[in-house]
Amino acid sequence: MITHHPTEEFMVAYAAGTLDEANSLAIAAHLTLCPTCRDEIAVYEALGATLVEELPEAVMAPQALAATLERVRHASRPLATVSSPLPSRHAPTSSIMLPAPLRHYVGGDIGAAKWQVLGPGIHHMPLVASEGVTARLLRIAPGRAVFDHGHGGLELTLVLNGSYQSQGKRFTRGDLEVADENVNHRPVAGMEDVCICLAVTDAPLRFDSWIGRLMQPFIGI
């Protein structure tokens, strides 16, 4: 049961298409796992549509319609599908761990991840960096504590496997934690399994960010 969800700020920006790629990846992965948030996104997309419908009309180029029809008229188009395949009503039983948006960046499921050592018991795989924001997979050994760290900006963490405990709260698969600069936490991976999560942080690595502090002794930043 997912109990930690993205804040409105991220949800609205994702629906509006103004969210950077790294954060969008975390939101799309969370949405795959969270029907509640998919309903919420649908509201914001309907709102976006309404706002566009209420915009004043721009003047289109002469013959714009004819030109557009010309673009498509000769293109073959698949026939209408009778109905799109409906997702099963049952919880997935597949052994696949990573939601599809993540698999595209990793190049497969978790087995395809190319891990780099980040610290004792901690590995990472950077996936995307754009607009000063980096998304990476993290793999933390069971029971492993990450020392206290503050945040330079907002940091998103989506749990994909195992769990971690932070500030008296437990985060499990599908949970997405939004930590801001006021949060100073000491996440501890659950003992039951390796904790795998997607972490989205400001880049370049900040001295005071979780990842930055972890990497500091290794890369000397």
What is the token pair recorded at 167? Answer: 């500030």
Single out the residue of 43, 145, 191, 221 in contact with another protein (rule: CB under 8 A): 43
How many Å apart are CA 37 and CA 51, to the nearest integer?
21
In angstroms, give the least distance from the CB of 147 to another protein. Answer: 29
Residues 146-185 interacting with another protein (rule: CB under 8 A): 174
Near another protein in 2-21, by CB under 8 A? 5, 8-9, 12-13, 16-18, 20-21
28 binding another protein? (CB under 8 A) = yes
CA distance readout (Å), 110 to 37, 155, 196? 24, 22, 9
Q: Are 8 and 119 in contact (CB under 8 A)?
A: no
| Binder of another protein out of 68, 116, 167, 184 (CB under 8 A) | 68
Site string for another protein, 104-143 (x = CB under 8 A): x-------------------------x-------------
Q: Which H or E run includes 41? A: helix 35-53
DSSP 8-state secondary structure symbol assigned to residue 111: G
Bridge partners of 139, per DSSP, are 123, 196
Q: Contacts with another protein: how many residues (CB under 8 A)? A: 78
